[in-house]
Every structure is written in C-alpha cells, then in structure tokens.
Amino acid sequence: MMIDLDVAEGSRAKPSWIADKSSSSIDALVNRAWREARVGAVATSEKLAMSISRDIVRQIGDGRLVPGSLLASEADMAATYSVGRTSVREALRLLEVQGLINIRTGPGGGPTVVEPTTADAGRMLSLHMNVRGCTFGDVAHARLEIDPVLAGLAAENATANGIERLRDIVQVMEGISLGRNAEWARIASMFNAILAAMAGNSVLALMSSALRAIYAERISHIEYTAKMRKTAIAQYCRIIDAIGENNAKKARDSSFDLINNSLTQMKKHHPDILEALVDWK
C-alpha cells in the first residue's frame, strides 16, 4: 500500500482526521477513572516475587547493576531474600517480560541485565491500551500533542552535537533506495528518538518514542513512495533548521505539520488503520 504526503502545510487547528469523542465515551472514561481511584485506595499486600523484582529494578536504576551484569543464581537469590526458588523464578520472569533481563539457559547462562528499549516500553503500554479500547488514531493524536512540544524544547536546548546527529540521519535517509521500507521506518524512528532526547525531558522522550514504536509497528506494511520521502525529508530539514535557529515556535509548527500531513493522508487512504484497536505485540 502507498500513501501520498504531497499536501498543503498543516494547521495548528484541530485536524480533521481526529474524531470527536461522544459524551457517552467520555463518561465511560470518567467512570473507569472513578473505579480505578477507588480500587487504588484499598491497601493490598505485595507478592514476594514483585518485592524481589522491585529490589532488582532499584539496583539497575541506581547503577549497581548495569547492562551485561549477571545476576546471582536462583539458589543464592532465594537465600538472600529468604524465599523459595519459585518466587525467585516468578520475579525473574516479570523482569524478562518487561525487557530488563535476558534469561539464558545452559552452561554460562543465567539472568543477565540488558538495556531496555523504547520498543519494550511500547509493548507493555500497548497491552494496557488494548484492554482500554484505545485506537491507533488515539495514539496518533497523542503524538500530535507531544512531539511538537519536544521539538520546541529541542530548539531551546539545542547542541551542536545533537543538530549534527539529526543532519546525519537525514543524509542516511536520502541514500535509502525505494523498496527498503523497513530501513526507512527504522531511520525515521531514529530521527524522532534523537530529537526527543535533545528536548531534555526523559519522561516526554520515553512516551514519544514508545508511542511511535506502537504506531510504526502498525504501518510497517505501507510503502514509502519517492514523493512521500522527498516531502518528509524537506519537513525534517525544516525542523532541523528551526532547532538550529533556536526558534521553538517554528520547530513546534514544523513538527506538527510533519505529523498532521502524514496522518491526514492516512485518514484519506487507510482510515481502517486509525480506527483499529491497538493490539498487544
């Protein structure tokens, strides 16, 4: 499938592809929030496995455990935490599912700390999105709100190294031949990640990259035409220029245009994608 991004510059007004939420759907969200708030107020005891996994996460967070570190054996961990080996195994599985460790079997194997990726964060986020009935249109709308903010912050915090990295990425994109759609998408995601990092807000950067990972997974089958690539590269360059000028407003507007133009065409040619529920992958 192909989409054409040769459209007029986007407007900061509400995009036409965003559907208004009905009163009933808003009320459903309010009622769910009310239920969750009431449940959250009830004290619950923590499982042993969760307590162990939290302690390991703390050690990763404060630098006592770094990527590549081999954790203690199950027997040693059971003795350290005064629990059975079943609780240790459950704790390790929890961490493995979250993308924080890799469990290798055989001689020289064992649980090893790995560096989590935004794809791991997106995977766990997509699970909760799925059960809440979120659509890919909701994800796209969230990106339209978050990414321009990050672009504006990047312009305010621009460094020569960051700008050079963005230009390097665009140069690589210009050399990707047609048909290599997965490669194009991967490099485009790299641009987003570097820009988000330049903003200096790690929470917003993580959310933006996780949302992009979820959305990119869904549109991986769409072909990037020559016209689409030319338009996108021009828009990327406008974002870089705005950041280089420390022009936050221009950076925000250019980022908004990039995403809005793409999604407007997505709504026109592939509305089923934006209307589909987020699936857990």
Domain spans of the chain? 2-24+119-275, 48-113
Residue, of 18 and 87, whose pLDDT is higher? 87
Cβ atoms of 178 and 192 within 8 Å: the answer is: no
* Average of per-residue pLDDT across 193-208: 93
223 pLDDT more than 90: no
3-state secondary structure of 277: strand
Q: Where are the alpha helices (DSSP H) in 2-135?
A: 23-40, 48-61, 74-81, 85-97, 118-131
263 pLDDT more than 90: no
CATH class label, 2-24+119-275:
mainly alpha
> Which pLDDT value is given to residue 96?
93
The predicted model scores a pTM of 0.80
Provide the pLDDT confidence category of residue 60 given band limits of 50, 70 and 90.
Answer: very high
Q: What is the DSSP string of 153-197?
A: HHHHT--HHHHHHHHHHHHHHHTPPTT-HHHHHHHHHHHHHHHHH
Residue, of 255 and 106, whose pLDDT is higher? 255
3-state secondary structure of 204: helix
* Average of per-residue pLDDT across 52-61: 93
Mean pLDDT over each residue of the chain, to the nearest integer = 87
Are 2-24+119-275 and 48-113 in the same CATH fold?
A: no
Residue, of 30 and 40, whose pLDDT is higher? 30
10 pLDDT more than 60: no
110: which strand partners?
104
203 pLDDT more than 70: yes
* Average of per-residue pLDDT across 241-246: 97
Neighbours of 52 (CB within 10 A): 22
Closest CA to 173 of 155, 151, 192, 152: 192
CATH class label, 48-113:
mainly alpha
